[in-house]
Amino acid sequence: MTDKLTTEETGTDTQVVGGTLEHLDPHTLVLDTNVRADVDLDAAFVASIKEHGVLMPIGARKASDGRILVRAGQRRTLAAREAGLHRVPVYVQPLTDGDDTANLVNRVAEQIVENDQRRELTEGERARGIQQLLDAGISVSKVARKLSVKADTVKAAEAVGKSETATSALDTGQLSLAEAAALTEFDAFPGALDRLTAAAGTRRFEHVVAQLREEQASWQAQQEAESQWREKGFTVLDELPGATDTGCVELRWLLTAAGDEATENTVTDPAQWAVAIEEDNAVLDVETGEIVDESTVDWNTENDDEAVPAEGLRHANTVKDGTVYLPTFYCLDYQAAGLTLDSWYARRAGVITGTDAPAGDTDEDAAAARAQAEAEQAEAQRRERRKVIALNRLGDAAMVVRREFLVKLLTRKTPPKGAGIFTANCLVRDPSLISDFQGPTVSAELLGVDASTGLRKLVTDLPPTGDARAQVLTLAVVLGALEARTPKDAWRGGGGGYLVRSRDYLAFLVEQGYELADVERIITGERSADEVYDETLADGQESDGQADEPDSDG
């Protein structure tokens, strides 16, 4: 079939005759020399051609011997052949008279201009187009098939379309479609956009997303805990008061009228009290979630379901590590509450001065020194507690990203470079490695099989030619054991007393292309725990909750 085109293009000196639109067999076309060196014929492009055909006519010249020479559209031609098309639209113009040099100039100019003048769709335009299809009731799977894209891409576009923040970030080029879709999880979370934008386009992005998920869950739990105290009538503090603020005094610095230390039993009228809600780690009852005194647990029964706990103690499998949100009480009007200030605190706050106390009172001085030391110790313990919580949260986030990387790594049919030496080295140095309690369970999770029989079946189902895959499965067993040795708080010891440590494990993953999170760099010795924690404070990821210290005791 041939459609004649009547349009003509005119230059300053010559007139180019119009061509014809013909529908030809792509196998009969001859690929002319092209400036594009890499055809890059990816599967998605071939799938698109198979689904829709060639939508933009291929540009060609007809030689005097009848050959149709493809000038523009070699990728479309090759894809049409691979897709099995029998007819494609071709805009055919006659090969102009002239010497080889003139034809070379025309060909190169046409090919460069034809590619340069294209304007790709922006990510935002692509997302809006996908959204139009979804709004019309087209299913995600059908949209993906029609556009020859992954279903995840369609779902990402759908998610972005529901968030003004994500759509704006996509339109301005701050984030890719997948990155903008991740942002939709954190629309209400302070600082998320800045942190995701800073990591966009880098391998750190996955770590930042995982960290934000952990932080947002903690933030939401904190908000819920605070709302419960507000409902009871308490003032909830966003930050701790100054160390000498007599209008907001921590409970531990207050005394009853009888001179005894005030306790939580003193907190009776919510109108006179404020609370600071702080996250803390605790041991919880598996069934009730209530806090359990660690001293009541027989920790020798850990990882042994058959063990019998010592008399008066409970089995370790009845408890779990958890997070709680505990109140610290502050009195807003200690005099109205019938309380007085601890003498050391009163001196520190300037309520009483040194002249109000007997001169040279060594007992008073000793008590003040003890109180000062206790205050400093309490602040140091508070910082350490918050550091542990923050870094454990980073450890949890890193574990998620690390295990996703492992899952992909272990889908290979052949072992990655260096895996054989690494595996042999681990097993020779530490033969007990693969018998660790949690190792087989983690290995099975990484391979997506049942822990009790799945690993064995993966091996027994291998064909006689499956040696390479068997090596990958052996690597999975070793990596699973090492992953089990690298919990969220591995930053505290880097692998304990094991012969093969977490730092060895992480070094191998880095060789395979894994990007370490900052908390993992503590394990490898590249960073210090205090350094990483201080950065979380500087970035606003955490608050140390500490009040400003006075310049003197007053």
**CATH code of the domain containing 102:** 3.90.1530.10
Q: Which two tokens stand for residue 66?
A: 């009848």
Cβ–Cβ < 8 Å for 482, 500: yes
Same domain, 43 and 90: yes
**Whole-angstrom Cα distance, residue 499 to residue 432?**
10
Same domain, 11 and 76: yes
- Other Cβ atoms closer than 10 A to 513: 11
Backbone φ and ψ for 110, nearest 5 degrees, come out as -60, -45
Same domain, 107 and 201: no
Give strand pairing partners of 60.
70, 92
Same domain, 173 and 307: no
Task: Output the DSSP codes for 467-511.
Answer: HHHHHHHHHHHHHHHHHHT--TTGGGTSSTT-SS-HHHHHHHHHH
Q: Would 158 be classed as within a structural domain?
A: yes
CA atoms within 13 A on the CB side of 271: 1
Same domain, 243 and 334: yes
pLDDT tens digit at each of 554 positions of the chain = 444 443 434 333 334 457 888 899 999 998 877 645 556 677 878 887 888 788 888 888 888 888 998 888 888 899 999 989 999 998 888 877 655 555 565 655 554 555 555 556 677 877 888 888 888 888 889 888 877 788 988 899 888 888 888 888 888 888 888 899 999 999 888 889 889 999 998 999 999 999 999 999 999 999 999 999 999 999 999 988 988 899 999 999 999 999 999 999 999 999 999 999 999 989 999 999 999 999 999 999 987 888 999 999 999 999 998 899 999 999 999 999 999 999 888 888 888 765 555 444 566 667 667 777 877 887 888 889 899 999 999 999 999 999 999 999 999 999 999 999 999 999 999 998 988 778 999 999 999 998 878 889 999 999 999 999 999 999 999 999 999 999 999 999 855 678 899 999 999 999 999 999 999 999 999 999 999 999 988 876 665 554 444 333 33
- Other Cβ atoms closer than 10 A to 316: 19
**Residue 127 CA to chain centroid, in angstroms?**
22
Same domain, 184 and 238: no
**Whole-angstrom Cα distance, residue 34 to residue 38?**
10
**Whole-angstrom Cα distance, residue 219 to residue 149?**
36
Cα 330 to Cα 260, 324, 368, distances in angstroms? 17, 19, 21
Same domain, 13 and 57: yes
Task: Name the pairing type of β-strands 235-236 and 273-285.
Answer: parallel
Q: Measuring CA to CA, which residue among 462, 471, 480 is closest to residue 414?
A: 471
The structure tokens 């990483």 sit at 532
With b meaning 16 or more CB within 10 Å and e meaning fewer, what string describes 406-439? beebbeeeebbeebeebbeebbeebeebbebebb
Query: Residue 322 is inside which H or E element, if any?
Result: strand 319-331
Q: Which two tokens stand for residue 75?
A: 């990728």
Q: Which of 341, 363, 396 is the last residue of a domain?
A: 341
Q: Measuring CA to CA, which residue among 111, 124, 203, 205 is closest to residue 157?
A: 124
For 187, the domain range is: 132-215
Q: Which of 87, 116, 145 is the last residue of a domain?
A: 116
Strand segments, DSSP code E, in 351-503 are none
Q: Would 201 be classed as within a structural domain?
A: yes
Cβ–Cβ < 8 Å for 151, 141: yes
**175 contacts: CB under 8 Å, gap ≥ 6:** 166, 169, 183, 196, 197, 200
Q: Measuring CA to CA, which residue among 161, 199, 225 is closest to residue 397?
A: 199
Q: Would 363 be classed as within a structural domain?
A: no
**Whole-angstrom Cα distance, residue 174 to residue 180?**
9
Same domain, 269 and 303: yes
Q: Would 252 be classed as within a structural domain?
A: yes
Domain count, the chain: 4
Cα 206 to Cα 173, 199, 210, distances in angstroms? 18, 9, 6
DSSP 86: S
**Whole-angstrom Cα distance, residue 38 to residue 57?**
21
Reduce the DSSP state of residue 202 to 3 states and report it. coil
Q: What is the widest separation between alpha-carbon atoms in the chain?
A: 119
Give strand pairing partners of 281.
323
Q: Measuring CA to CA, which residue among 160, 162, 182 is closest to residue 171?
A: 160
Give the type of residue at 182. Answer: A
Same domain, 402 and 482: yes
Same domain, 165 and 277: no
Q: Which two tokens stand for residue 341?
A: 């200030």
Q: Would 364 be classed as within a structural domain?
A: no
Same domain, 530 and 402: yes
The full 3-state SS of 111-135, as one line of letters, equals HHHHHHCCCCCCHHHHHHHHHHHHH
**Whole-angstrom Cα distance, residue 132 to residue 121?**
15
Q: Which of 81, 116, 151 is the last residue of a domain?
A: 116
Total residues belonging to the chain: 554
Q: Which two tokens stand for residue 305?
A: 């379901």
User: pLDDT tens-digit profile of 356-365?
Assistant: 554 445 666 6
Same domain, 53 and 95: yes
Q: Would 126 be classed as within a structural domain?
A: no
Q: Would 349 be classed as within a structural domain?
A: no
Cβ–Cβ < 8 Å for 394, 211: yes
**Whole-angstrom Cα distance, residue 452 to residue 3?**
68
- Other Cβ atoms closer than 10 A to 287: 9
User: pLDDT tens-digit profile of 288-336?
Assistant: 999 999 999 999 998 788 899 999 999 999 999 889 999 999 999 999 9
